[in-house]
Structure 1
């Protein structure tokens, strides 16, 4: 949902545009990766962004979640000198790898790794946005709801004055029937709604940017 596929803008691009407009100067996204996922090869080998001028650095992966990113985040924060992390993870964890409690443990490991690299790191986290599987799998739907409850509690427990953790309210009108192209991955309207959710949380929580406008 964050890495995006060949030919897409991605919500990262939408948020980058917003911040550039809000501040009237370029904003920098950082990370050790640049590629999009190529659905024809099922690998992160495409650089065909809808806007080729987009600064494409990120740390996203198709099929990667909290458990995959927790071991990587410390080195990434250190090498890329990140000071704010925008995190949208969890759907793939709950779908294939870990239950809600185990996923929450990986959230703690992720935050610890980021803070070890930068004790003043700030982290904005979007809860899991349900996908089409919740309609056919009630136990999965319960895990999504349970994890989002645990996520909110975990961020509250780990929040520190010098290293703020921000829970991003999910976009209220987000609907996987209309805001995704396959029941999971955001289309253009989904990209804008996810970007707007982050933008509003950054504005209200940390006074970064301004009101989101498409």
Structure 2
């Protein structure tokens, strides 16, 4: 590959990276994950909480991560969380029982607020489930939306590259719960407005599939099965947080790709992309022509993280783009999640 083609390739790499954005959840990198919310995030002494169940999934997947937050207690004390693989539960969080979104921003006397908490840590990924108390306390949807956007701004000011997994809230049987769908309806639009070229906001649908007759222990809070459903939704979203960073070695008539293992991958698919497919003429932030065709699938072994493309470029000064996609245990190819919170499927799937 000529120097000109190599330079063009790197320009294209940056272009597609700006479209797909996000952090790279690879093994060996300590991901700082902030669970941010209210009592649904905090849980009480009688319940493990979704945080523990998500922690188990991440530990089992072998990812190196750190839950962060100013608190480490459930309400009224901590339950006896069982250790996993010789590890004790990392109980740090930013769940605040009964708090509304404006209180996360402004705080309560003696308890701090988001800006002050962020002086002690900086998250790579935020799990954000906020707005339930605002709905139940009859705050307007408009004010809640404004406060949620302000929370995002505070997080982005602290880390311009933060990835925010923003929940569509779980349902409730509270008489005032009819306001929750109104907030949920605004979440995708919030994600579109507040994403930046470096900070992606991914919508995580915690509402769908959550059954208030079987997944709550009272009118508001998830029971064991509800916590498990929430943890699974967060986990699946984390699987698709980012495309993989790829390194290339240029040799005559071939390119050698290598990448790092990612969360939950059983094997990987490699896509070879025509640079023209990166064009975004409709302005929706997505490549018009999709992400090209899959040219190979690695062996079902996460240690297999290299691929050699022996098909030469069609012209001396031409360029191509490669994308590596992890294939998870769910049988799906997770090409990353766009700023719109939608998974992008390949035009031709690997076998």
Question: Structure 2 length as normaliser, TM-score?
Answer: 0.53
Q: Distance in 2 between matches of 1:19 and 1:169?
A: 19
**Deviation string, structure 1 residues 147-186 (Cα, Å, up to 9, x no partner):** 1111210111111120111110225321111011113111
Distance 1:5 1:188, change over 3 A: same
8 Å contact kept, 2:210–2:226: yes
Q: Distance in 2 between matches of 1:35 and 1:192?
A: 19
1:92 matched residue in structure 2: 133
8 Å contact kept, 2:52–2:81: no
1:54 matched residue in structure 2: 89
Give every structure 1 segment of 4 or more consecutive aligned residues whose post-TM-superposition deviation is greater than 6 Å. Answer: none
8 Å contact kept, 2:63–2:263: no
Q: Does 1:6 align with 2:45?
A: yes
The SS at the match of 1:85 is: strand
2:155 matched residue in structure 1: 114
8 Å contact kept, 1:120–1:162: yes
Computing the radius of gyration from Cα coordinates, the structure with the larger value is 2
Structure 2, unaligned stretches of length 5 or more?
Answer: 1-39, 107-112, 244-261, 265-327, 331-351
**Deviation string, structure 1 residues 68-88 (Cα, Å, up to 9, x no partner):** 212422333341221111111
The SS at the match of 2:221 is: coil
More strand by share: 2
Question: Structure 1 length as normaliser, TM-score?
Answer: 0.85
Q: Within 5 Å, which residues of 2 pair with 1:127-166?
A: 127-133=168-174, 136-137=175-176, 140-141=177-178, 143-166=179-202
Q: Distance in 2 between matches of 1:127 and 1:198?
A: 11
Shift of 1:49: 4.1
8 Å contact kept, 1:32–1:59: yes
**Deviation string, structure 1 residues 108-135 (Cα, Å, up to 9, x no partner):** 11011111111111111111212002xx
**Deviation string, structure 1 residues 6-32 (Cα, Å, up to 9, x no partner):** 03211001111111111x255310011
RMSD: 2.1
More helix by share: 1
Number of aligned residue pairs: give it. Answer: 200
Structure 1, unaligned stretches of length 5 or more?
Answer: 39-45
The SS at the match of 1:86 is: strand
